[in-house]
Amino acid sequence: MSESFEVQAEVRADEGKGASRRLRRLEGKVPGVVYGGESAARSISLIRKDLEKMLENEAFYTSVLNVNVDGATESAILKDVQRHPAKGFPMHVDFLRVQADKAIKVNVPLHFTNEETCTGVKLGGGMIQHQATDMEVQCLPGDIPDYIEVDMTDVDVGQIVHLSDVTLPEGVVSTALALGDDHDLAIAAVIAPKGGKSDDEADSSAPEAEGEEPEAEE
């Protein structure tokens, strides 16, 4: 991981919906929780503007974070963000404690590359359709990739890209594929241009030439 994030938080004594609303409205903070590992879960609060700035960085979602709670630092990953349904600002965050020698499951964003030079787009006039934006993987905390690259260069019209077509870094495995081939989900495809007709369809729908009549049966 190329970036290091320091998350400053403090223990939150008051809990419940009412306390959380007051925290957000009056103090400009966001309630959260740190859980997992051998320690008990801790209710925390973070300064909203600082959290929002970190959430703008894609790497924040896949990095091992240093979560400092009242001076005590723990290693954790961002597990969940609950946002306001209309305005989109964070309303609650969950951090999961991690240990360097224990594998964890995490969702990693997919980066689709070479879409402009994709065979199905450039030569076939097709359109790329994304069917997933991230992939759940399992690996050690130190092996979490910032993102997973999906190269679309050689994908033709009508072809589908599956999880098994993606090359994962060493030590990183797809949790879906670990369950068997039946879980090899589609993540992208190149679909044919809208309104296009095949040659057979064009021939069958073409009008007969003027002045020609079908031959009578004997």
192 CB contacts (<8 Å, ≥6 apart)?
124, 125, 126, 157, 158
207 falls within a domain: no
pTM of the complete model: 0.78
Domain of residue 135, residue span? 104-198
Under 8 Å between Cβ of 44 and 69: yes
More confident residue, 211 or 120: 120
- Are 153 and 118 a contacting pair, CB within 8 Å? yes
Report whether pLDDT(209) > 70: no
Do 76 and 138 lie in a common domain? no
Q: Is the dihedral of CA 111, 114, 116, 121 positive or negative?
A: negative
Given this model, what pLDDT does residue 202 score? 42
Question: Is residue 72 included in any domain, yes or no?
Answer: yes
User: Which of 97, 115, 130 is a domain's end point?
Assistant: 97
Tokens representing 2 are 């190329």
Same domain, 68 and 129: no
In a domain? residue 1? no
Asked whether residue 163 is assigned to any structural domain, the reply reads yes
| 132 located within any domain | yes
Hey, what are 155's tokens? 């994908």
Q: What is the mean pLDDT of residues 195-204?
A: 47
Residue 22 CA to residue 27 CA, distance in Å, equals: 7
Verify that 168 and 93 share a domain, yes or no: no
Neighbours of 152 (CB within 10 A): 20
Task: Round to whole Å and give the CA distance between 33 and 96.
Answer: 8
Q: 92 and 24 in one domain?
A: yes
Write down the mean pLDDT value for the chain: 87
Structure confidence by residue, pLDDT tens digits, 49-75: 999 999 999 999 999 999 999 889 999
Number of domains observed in the structure of the chain: 2
Clarify whether residues 85 and 115 are in a common domain. Answer: no
Mean pLDDT of all residues in 78-107: 94
Core vs surface per residue 171-199: b (16+ CB within 10 A) or e: ebebebbeeeeeeeeebbbbeeeeeeeee
Q: What is the pLDDT of residue 16?
A: 64
In a domain, 218, yes or no: no
Cβ–Cβ contacts within 10 Å for residue 69, how many? 22
193-216 average pLDDT score: 51
User: Which among 92, 102, 83, 207 has a CA at the least distance from the CA of 144?
Assistant: 102
Examine the domain organization and report whether 119 and 181 are in the same domain. yes
Which are the contacts of 18, defined by CB distance < 8 A and separation ≥ 6? none
Q: Are residues 180 and 128 in the same domain?
A: yes
Q: What mean pLDDT is predicted for residues 11-27?
A: 72
